[in-house]
Amino acid sequence: MSSTLHSATFAPGRFGPYGGRYVPETLMVPLFELERAYEAAKTDARFQAEFADLLKNFAGRPTPLQFASRLTAHLGGPRIYLKREDLLHTGAHKINNAIGQGLLAVKMGKPRIIAETGAGQHGVASATVAAHLGLECVVYMGTEDMARQALNVSRMRMLGAKVVGVDSGSRTLKDAINEAMRDWVTNVRNTHYLLGSVLGAHPYPTMVRDFQSVIGREAREQILAAEKRLPTHLFACVGGGSNAIGLFHQFLGDSAVKMVGIEAGGRGGQLGEHAARLAAAQGFTGARPGVLQGTYTYILQTEDGQIATTHSISAGLDYPAIGPEHAWLADQGRAEYAAVSDSAALDAAHLLSHTEGIIPALESAHAIAGLIERLPRLSGNDLVILNLSGRGDKDMDTYSRLL
């Protein structure tokens, strides 16, 4: 599939049938305002220069593309390269998008930002950028996630953000987004909602993808310099899907490059035991198209259309919907999506730590587990880029209890 064909298949804000704007009338005005500001920023030399400067001198880009020699030798399969987003300031890829949206908030004259977070990395990134740019920051976080990501809660508060615990529903990411949207409806005049993934109403899925596409641009240049050829496979974990689409986007026009997104298989295939939206072929039940929190995409639902509870050992993957562009890529067969269990992710984290001296975030460990499970389909001639989207500091309590 060429990039031209891909981009021609949907109207602005749509990926095939997916995407769109499904929000209260109150939010249409700020969404239009954000779309105009973002479209202007694309061609604003001053904005782009400031964005590039902060990515380099504040966040720490470019990140290395590391040949994982010992992991490659241990697995005995393809050559494996790790895109080291875990080395960024704040410890994950989330800072790329937070910088871009923080600059847009300043451009729009919005002195207050709100954010949602599951694993806490987007909350930390939002709090970090807000402090750097002199903005007020409020972060909504489910109390279940606050308990398992206590370190990141402390980091956000250290940075001056107000962390609001959400005790409704499953007390996880979905509920945090609900509360953030309620805040935004009330405070649209002075507040920008710094959404953390390729979710929500247009322009968020497109805008967040564009801010994260620096991952794939760098990885493409780096792999060509190192190997003189494109990769045969890309692997990334997929919750909402921003780290995955950030890697995939630059390779969409290269039909020989296979893209694999790894979801949270949790404890099993029954609804409520997992957070796998696109892995029906593996027996994970409950996902079908619907509308959640502003966008039309695949959502885990009960038979009567209620949003299902989800489970993942990883807070960042514990969400019932997936980004609309991923839904479209799955429908088109351009990307493959599969799920791995909690226990497989733990084993993969243990393996990477012991072979490469890198403790990955639990989210990233799912991508490693997905690669391991696919080894029988791969050969020594294959070349893999795996997006190591975050570091494991935040998950040490879980690792220490379960490993």
| Catalytic positions | 94, 116, 389
- Residues β-bridged to residue 80: 384
**Please, how many CA atoms are within 13 Å of residue 329, restricted to the half-sphere of its CB?**
24
Distance CA 170, CA 174 (A): 8
Selection from 170, 310, 319 nearest residue 239 by Cα: 319
Tell me the two tokens of residue 110: 């919005």
Burial of 112 (C-beta count, 10 Å sphere; 0-12/13-18/19+): middle
List, as one string, the DSSP characters of 92-160. Answer: BTHHHHHHHHHHHHHHTT--EEEEEESSSHHHHHHHHHHHHHT-EEEEEEEHHHHHHTHHHHHHHHHTT
Residue 72 · residue 78 · CB < 8 Å: yes
Q: SS3 of 32, please?
A: helix
The DSSP code for 58 is I
CB atoms within 10 A of CB 256: 9
Q: Do 314 and 347 form a contact (C-beta atoms < 8 A)?
A: no
- What is the crossing angle of helices 25-42 and 45-54, to 10°? 90
Joined tokens for residue 294: 């502003």
- Between helix 25-42 and helix 204-212 the angle, nearest 10°, is 30
